[in-house]
Structure 1
Amino acid sequence: MSLDDLNDDVTDAYGALDEELTVSLDRETRNELALLETALEPEETDELVRRAIHMLFQSTIDTGKLDFQLRTAYDVTYDEYLSGMTFEEMTGADQYPAMDDERRYQF
């Protein structure tokens, strides 16, 4: 295969993407998807989209961005979400009564 064949295949895949996907793609995304489809030869373009979502998800977890977003919006981390308990619930820190500073050192 030559570079020209690759360009032809990418162009064909690029043109076919409108028929296969119901999402709107900008020019750069469509070109990248067409090249990936040509190079990786998945059975369906949907498989590449699924892989991309999985990779984005894993990358977001690995970099801490998911935890940051979850902490900002919901005050939990991904691990807390998976376990179904907050860190305070896991460690028992929420079981103790609040400290009363006025009576803290009284016996």
Structure 2
Amino acid sequence: MSLDDLSEDVETAYSDFDETLPVSLDRETRNELAVLQTVLDPDDPDELVRRAIHMLFQTKVETGSLDFHLRRGYNVTYDEYLSGMTFQEMTGAPQPPDNDGRRYQF
């Protein structure tokens, strides 16, 4: 897969989300959401879900986990996705060796 495939898949996923995204909650998640709702007292419980998604995304970016999954599935990094160009296209240099994914081992 490639950068173009990733961009297309992200656009498809984005368009699949309606204005409302129904999510079913298990008992544990419902309890945790209730505690957060009580303690943080947001105007809308949806705000807590938005914050949680932002936190998860940021954590995946900062730990390199997102790059690991992108490299594995699309052979690109998040930086390459944001720029719309692969490393090779940016520099004209050959792609660095994959090292069998060892760079992203945790």
- Shorter-chain TM-score bucket reads 0.5 to 0.7
- 1:36 maps to 36
Query: C-alpha deviations, 1:35-92, integer Å up to 9, x for none?
Result: 0000000000000000000000000101111101100000000000001110111111
- 1:71 maps to 71
User: TM-score when scaled to structure 1?
Assistant: 0.66
Identify unmatched segments of 5+ residues in structure 1.
1-20, 95-107
1:81-100 alignment to 2 at 5 Å? 81-93=81-93
Q: Match for 1:50: what amino acid?
A: R
2:6 pairs with 1:24: no
- 1:17 maps to none
Partners of 1:62 and 1:27 in 2: CA distance: 30
Residue-pair matches, total: 74
Partners of 2:23 and 2:46 in 1: CA distance: 11
- 1:10 maps to none
Partners of 1:45 and 1:22 in 2: CA distance: 13
Partners of 1:65 and 1:80 in 2: CA distance: 15
State the percentage of identical aligned residues. Answer: 74
Partners of 1:48 and 1:64 in 2: CA distance: 24
**Segments of 4+ in structure 1 off by > 4 A?**
none
Kindly report the root-mean-square deviation, in angstroms, between the aligned alpha carbons of the 2 structures: 1.3
2:80 pairs with 1:80: yes
User: TM-score when scaled to structure 2?
Assistant: 0.66
More relative contact order, 1 or 2 (CA 8 Å, 6+ apart): 2
